Amino acid sequence: MKHYLFAIAAAGVGLAGQAACAATLSGAELLNQFSIITTGDLDANHDNYGRAYVGGNLTTTSGKADFANPPALPDGRPGKLPASDYAALTVVGDVTGGPARIGTGGTTMVIGGNVANRELQFADANTAEVLIGGALSPATLINNRARPGQPGVRVSQGLAGTAGFADLFPQDVAATLTCLSGDLSDLDGTITPTITGGGNTFNLTATGGGLSVANFDIADLGGHIGQMQLALGATDTLVMNVGGTNVTINDNINGLLPPNGKRIIWNFYEAVTVDLQRQMIGSILAPKAVLKNNTAIEGSIFAASAQLGGQVHLQPFEGDLPEASPVPLPASLPLLLAGLGLAGFVARRRAA
């Protein structure tokens, strides 16, 4: 298998002169820690339960883009996001449009470009911070107040060009998950879909234990197909490699619960458009596609760009995938943050 790895800086500032540690994230780890990852732009206007990494610009054309809301536990109490060395919201480009908010599952926004949206909001202003490569518009409110009237929120801007600042935006994110998508698409199928109900029901059963792979074309879900009946065993992982360049899902998914999304991957490896009109259960890889949704996704998404008209609920990926060997890369982020006097960010970023 190819190595699909994502280099990250270690979460810690050592003594002066001490070498910074390095760590890596695999594709599976990215799908565990982030609910939204795009190579390019993201347009979001709903609550999202998880972290986001936006490789382009973030805009909110209507409503509010809400990130890092923690998932609910089975008893209804708020849970916690998986630990991570990354901020609740990372945007390589600019932030424009309506409000962008960080929920109780995070504290930090990292923005590579300029911030000129209506408002930045934080569930906990006392621990919140914004690190900006460009400038923060004077018109942008923070928690409904004009600066400097907002207590608690720490803002650092003009950081672009600072030695090591680019390490906050590693380019390996897209390469890691694109490579994962390609590698999964090369796997031989281990289970075969069946059609029942007079041509109305598409069936897949993955209950044999371990990794199950189904390879089919989006055309197989056309015609009279109205529903997908999926079965997943308690210890199984299901990868669905779906061929086709233009993907629309109008079929209801039966037989699964949202937590099953922790062990399912939909791999739209050829698609240039993905339009999801029904609830999806499982993480979605669409490295070439513009992805749209109108209903909830129970899992993570990776796409070239995304226009989200529905929520994304992180179901931290826990499935079994072919192993890849970690390749650590140098990390300068801790030294950068120490130089900027942002050691507090380091102390909190694993909870962001």
Domain chopping of the chain, boundaries: 56-168+325-351, 187-313
pLDDT for the residue 231? 94
Per-residue pLDDT of the chain (352 residues; tens, 9 = 90+): 333 333 333 333 222 222 222 236 889 999 999 999 999 999 999 899 999 999 999 999 998 999 999 877 777 777 889 998 889 999 999 999 999 999 999 999 999 999 999 999 999 888 899 999 999 999 999 988 776 555 678 999 999 998 877 777 766 889 999 999 999 999 999 999 999 988 889 999 999 889 999 999 998 888 667 899 999 998 899 999 999 999 999 889 999 999 999 999 999 999 999 999 999 999 999 999 999 999 999 999 999 999 999 999 999 999 988 865 444 444 544 454 555 555 455 444 444 5
State the pairing for strand pair 194-196/201-206.
Answer: antiparallel
For the four alpha carbons of 123, 124, 125 and 129, in that order, the dihedral sign comes to: negative
pLDDT for the residue 222? 80
pLDDT for the residue 24? 65
Shortest CA distance to 251 belongs to which of 208, 203, 313? Answer: 203
d(CA 89, CA 47): 13
Specify whether the CB–CB gap between 338 and 75 falls below 8 A: no
pLDDT for the residue 107? 92
Count of Cβ atoms closer than 10 Å to residue 280 Cβ: 23
pLDDT for the residue 168? 76
Supply the pTM of this predicted model. 0.85
Cα Rg of the chain, angstroms:
20
Specify whether the CB–CB gap between 331 and 8 falls below 8 A: yes
Q: Is the peptide bond before 148 cis (omega within 30 degrees of 0)?
A: yes
Torsions phi, psi of 296, nearest 5? -70, 145
Question: Residue 301 contacts by C-beta under 8 Å, 6 or more apart in sequence?
Answer: 35, 36, 37, 283, 284, 286, 291, 312
Question: Residue 179 contacts by C-beta under 8 Å, 6 or more apart in sequence?
Answer: 2, 3, 4, 27
Question: Residue 45 contacts by C-beta under 8 Å, 6 or more apart in sequence?
Answer: 60, 61, 62, 63, 64, 65, 98, 308, 309
